[in-house]
């Protein structure tokens, strides 16, 4: 898929969103302290709100946070076929691969609230299973099950073990206390 940038709906001429889920500001003249100032174009940094990536967009002196998947859908997908929101009968944005951090336009679709809830538990959905992706099946796993077993039996400091495996010492503590990788 080639990289494509489109204007963010409601912020035309100020910000653009890509089909890969990045947001950038456009070069433009603004006014600061009563004098004109040039704002250079740049890709905005994303923040994580606990569930989704979001960005802060500023227009007419007002800043508002926007979830990136919604900006991508508004720019690249057909308009929402009905009301948008978490209520019954409303549409939601579904991440097809269940990775809420994957905001590529080819990974997003409109689904009715009920369908979105149904598919999260349906075995036949092409991307979903009833059990969450655990261990090495998780897309961001940095360790193997063999390494986790070795970590649990290792008596060195968490920092030393973490350095050996290339992970943070806090993850080593979670593994030893069985707060993560609990299925092993």
Determine the pLDDT at residue 72. 96
Alpha-helical (H) ranges within the chain are: 68-76, 113-119, 145-153, 158-165, 169-176
Q: pLDDT tens for residues 136-169?
A: 776 678 899 999 999 999 999 999 999 999 999 9
Determine the pLDDT at residue 118. 58
Determine the pLDDT at residue 132. 53
Confidence check: pLDDT of 176 > 60: yes
Confidence check: pLDDT of 114 > 60: yes
Select the more confidently predicted residue: 53 or 135. Answer: 53
The reply to whether the predicted model has a pTM over 0.75 is no
Closest CA to 59 of 8, 96, 101, 125: 8
Closest CA to 18 of 2, 4, 32: 4
**pLDDT-based confidence at residue 125 (cuts at 50, 70, 90):** low
Confidence check: pLDDT of 120 > 60: no
Structure tokens at 152: 């649990």
In this structure, of 2-6, 9-13, 23-27, 57-61, the range with the lowest mean pLDDT score is 57-61
Helix (H, G, I), strand (E, B) or coil at 55: strand
Q: Which domains does the chain have, with CATH numbers?
A: 5-70 (3.90.75.20), 135-176 (no CATH)
Mean pLDDT of the residues in the chain? 85
Determine the pLDDT at residue 63. 94
Confidence check: pLDDT of 182 > 60: yes
């Amino acid at each position: 898929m080639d990289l494509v940038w489109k204007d963010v709906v409601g912020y035309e001429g100020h910000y653009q969103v890509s089909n890969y889920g990045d947001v950038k500001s456009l070069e433009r003249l603004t006014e600061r302290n009563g004098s004109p100032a040039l704002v250079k174009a740049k890709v905005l940094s994303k923040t994580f709100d606990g569930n989704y990536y979001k960005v802060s967009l500023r227009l007419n002196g007002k800043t508002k946070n926007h979830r990136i998947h919604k900006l991508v859908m508004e720019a690249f997908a057909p308009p929402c076929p009905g009301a948008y929101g978490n209520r019954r009968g409303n549409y939601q944005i579904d991440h097809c691969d269940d990775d809420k951090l994957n905001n590529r336009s080819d990974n997003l679709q409109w689904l009715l609230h009920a369908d979105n809830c149904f598919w999260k538990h349906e075995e036949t959905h092409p991307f979903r299973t009833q059990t969450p992706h655990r261990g090495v099946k998780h897309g961001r796993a940095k360790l193997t099950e063999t390494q986790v077993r070795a970590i649990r039996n290792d008596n060195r400091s968490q920092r030393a073990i973490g350095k050996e495996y290339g992970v943070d010492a806090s993850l080593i503590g979670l593994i030893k206390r069985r707060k993560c990788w609990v299925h092993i």
